[in-house]
Amino acid sequence: MRVKNIATEDFINYKEPSMFISSCFCSWKCCIEQGLDIGVCQNAPLAQAEIVDIPDEAIYELFVNNPITQAVVIGGLEPMIQANEVISLIDYFRKNGQDCPFVIYTGYCPNEIPKEINLLKQYKNIIIKFGRYIPNAKSKYDEVLGVTLASDNQYAEQIS
């Protein structure tokens, strides 16, 4: 999978210790739709980072060899632009007997990505955080993720 970064341990995006994978691309919809500069996006600096193509097998080994992490979070930029690569990674984990939660942070709403949701639903234990980032909105604690999300329009759903 092409990534911007992998943090082998992350404690702020899900209730369980997680490996955090930063995806590579975004259309900057959250900013553009609100007439804001893309620099407002908290992930904007990541756009400058180099893209690295890491074999799914290597990501899997990184995860299973760390006894601390219990889940994989795939987040900003926008993972759904690489949905085929996200699905390949999940497929590799599941074929190797690893059923850990996969948490996908998308800025899209469900009606914008029905095909991707249906493809992801074929795998067990998938959670998606939906919704745009709205600067200056109130933050909101999300029960599914067990963390506070940046804006109160955002929410997570266990889709499988």
From residue 89 to residue 128, the character string flagging contacts with ligand SF4 as x (rule: CB under 6 A) and all else as - is: ------------------x---------------------
Any idea which residue has 């992930």 for tokens?
43
Examine residue 10 and tell whether it contacts ligand SF4 (CB under 6 A): no
Cα-based torsion angle of the residue sequence 141, 76, 20, 123 in order, rounded to the nearest 10 degrees: 80
Distance CA 113, CA 84 (A): 13
User: Which range, of 28-36, 50-58, 122-130, 140-148, touches ligand SF4 by CB under 6 A?
Assistant: 28-36
Dihedral angle sign, alpha carbons of residues 97, 102, 108, 111: positive
Residue of 63, 76, 129, 149 that binds ligand SF4 (CB under 6 A) = 76
- Of 129, 133, 106, 111, nearest to 31 by C-alpha is 133
Examine residue 28 and tell whether it contacts ligand SF4 (CB under 6 A): yes
Examine residue 131 and tell whether it contacts ligand SF4 (CB under 6 A): no
**What residues make contact with ligand SF4 under the rule CB under 6 A?**
26, 28-31, 41, 43, 76-78, 107, 133
